[in-house]
Amino acid sequence: MHVQTTTTTSAESVVEVARAVAAEVDGRGEEIERARTLPADLVARFRDTGLFSMALPTVFGGLECPPLTVVDVIEEMSRADPSAGWTLLIGQGAGFLAWLEPAAAADLVAVHPRPIVASSMAPAGRGEETGDGYRLSGRWPFTSGCAHSDLLMAGFVATRDGVPATTAQGAPAQRMAFVPAGETDIVDTWRVAGLRGTGSHDVVVRGTVVPRELTADPFFEQAKQPGPLYGASMFSFLMTMMAGFPLGVARRALDEFHAAAHARTRQPAGTSMAEEPVTQAAILRCESAVRAARALVVDAIGLVTEAVASGNGAPPPVRARLAGAVVHAMTTAREVVETAFHSCGARSLYAGHPLQRCFRDVHAASQHVAFGQEAVKRLGRIELGLPTPTFLV
């Protein structure tokens, strides 16, 4: 068991701390991929410096950083190594404790101080109702960081006598359960093309009884904690955590593109790649695209923050702007990474080259359900003013 130490990191200093830790991560990409998860020393660094607690409410011992600070930190770590950045953003699952009743969440963090929470929100489990909770069973794939997590937050459908319970609208009743890692089993499944170092194995729970107070419905219930991180919606919280990842990967790809442009020469003329008009045009296009995508994310987070501060919550159109900005950032990152990868030539193919890792990892991350066609369709319908279920916005 990891012995937790006191951190002097604050919400104000966390970006500076993240830059220092990111410098330690940079260059360890091959090692991280060989391990297929974040190495133990980096997990300890992320934990001890408070990086895994950025989204944990302050009342439970977390940093509860402003949304833009979270974006900055995830961006820095994703620039150093995409798998490390993804592991860090998914490790912010402790923020979902804001949806539990405060007394229950406080009891949980008393046992698991500053917990790392792996999460799989897909309703892949079944929770048979008992007198005071749910008997939970299921198997959740793509559970990033599960090997070093203290808790699993798992989606499930509530059942009564084996039959799914329903909401007032007739839909299956879904909830999230917080389960101690010691009551789960990990199935080693993570052999993949991209994000190889995130340890996103399957996690199995077999009949564990979860007290009702350690479950929540973040899709339809408001968070029990106030503040810009939690006050809009569960989906806005998730998209805020994800926003820095594509921006950081795109920035790393551009770092490599800039370096190659100055280092490589074309024979027989002996001119540098940087002197070629096609390279100059590509660099300008990519730099402008990444800066614009980042500005859109910053603007959208500002709108959500203002709406939450008003005391009336963030309406669906405002939340959709945030989700749309993050989807746009991912689309932009894919395009920029592809441009850099192809522009820098065959050297990018080698396993040790950061560009091939950026290429694989950004495409793997874009497979997340938050960036899928169903999500895009919902956001488009909201932009058009069409009737749209908004619990996933």
The percent of residues above 70 in pLDDT, for the chain, comes to 97
Give this prediction's pTM.
0.95
The one-letter amino acid at 244 = G
Give the Cα separation of 118 and 95 in Å (integer): 11
How many residues are there in the chain? 393
> Residues spanned by CATH 1.10.540.10 within the chain?
14-97
Q: Would you say residue 8 has pLDDT above 90?
A: no
Q: Are 84 and 198 in contact (CB under 8 A)?
A: no
Q: What is the pLDDT of residue 264?
A: 84
CB half-sphere exposure, 84, CA atoms < 13 A: 33
CA–CA distances in Å: residue 153 to residues 61, 176, 373: 19, 6, 25
The one-letter amino acid at 240 = T
Across 343-356, average pLDDT: 91
The torsion region of residue 377 among left (phi > 0), alpha (psi -120 to 50) and beta comes to alpha
Closest CA to 293 of 339, 328, 242: 328
First-to-final CA distance of the chain: 37
CATH ID of 14-97, from 1.10.238.10, 1.10.760.10, 3.40.50.12780, 1.10.540.10: 1.10.540.10
Give the Cα separation of 365 and 367 in Å (integer): 5
pLDDT band per the 50, 70, 90 thresholds, residue 5: very low
Across 354-369, average pLDDT: 97
> Residues spanned by CATH 2.40.110.10 within the chain?
116-216
Give the CATH fold of the 234-383 domain. Butyryl-CoA Dehydrogenase, subunit A; domain 3 (1.20.140)
Across 80-90, average pLDDT: 98
Closest CA to 247 of 282, 293, 208: 293
Q: Would you say residue 258 has pLDDT above 60?
A: yes
pLDDT band per the 50, 70, 90 thresholds, residue 1: very low
- Per 3-state DSSP, the chain is made up of helix, strand and coil in percentages (nearest 5) of 55, 15, 30
Element (H, E) at 115: none
CA angle 53, 321, 66 (to 5 degrees): 25
> Residues spanned by CATH 1.20.140.10 within the chain?
234-383
Q: Is the peptide bond before 226 cis (omega within 30 degrees of 0)?
A: no
Q: Using one digit for the tens of pLDDT, what is the confidence trace for 69-79? A: 999 999 999 99
- Only one residue has tokens 């749910």, namely 134
CA angle 95, 99, 101 (to 5 degrees): 120
Q: Using one digit for the tens of pLDDT, what is the confidence trace for 156-182? A: 999 999 999 988 777 788 999 999 999
Q: Are 194 and 361 in contact (CB under 8 A)?
A: yes
Give the Cα separation of 172 and 159 in Å (integer): 9
The β-bridge partners of 155 are: 176
CATH of domain 116-216: 2.40.110.10
Handedness of CA 158, 313, 376, 385 (dihedral sign): positive
Give the Cα separation of 341 and 338 in Å (integer): 5
Across 19-43, average pLDDT: 97
What does residue 310 show for φ and ψ, rounded to 5 degrees?
Answer: -70, -15
Q: Are 189 and 148 in contact (CB under 8 A)?
A: no
Burial class (CB in 10 A: 0-12, 13-18, 19+), 298: middle
Q: Are 265 and 95 in contact (CB under 8 A)?
A: no
Handedness of CA 267, 268, 271, 277 (dihedral sign): negative
CB half-sphere exposure, 18, CA atoms < 13 A: 31
Closest CA to 56 of 4, 106, 130: 106
Burial class (CB in 10 A: 0-12, 13-18, 19+), 362: buried
Closest CA to 212 of 130, 152, 288: 130
Q: Are 362 and 82 in contact (CB under 8 A)?
A: yes
DSSP for residue 47 = H
pLDDT mean across residues, the chain = 94
pLDDT band per the 50, 70, 90 thresholds, residue 267: low
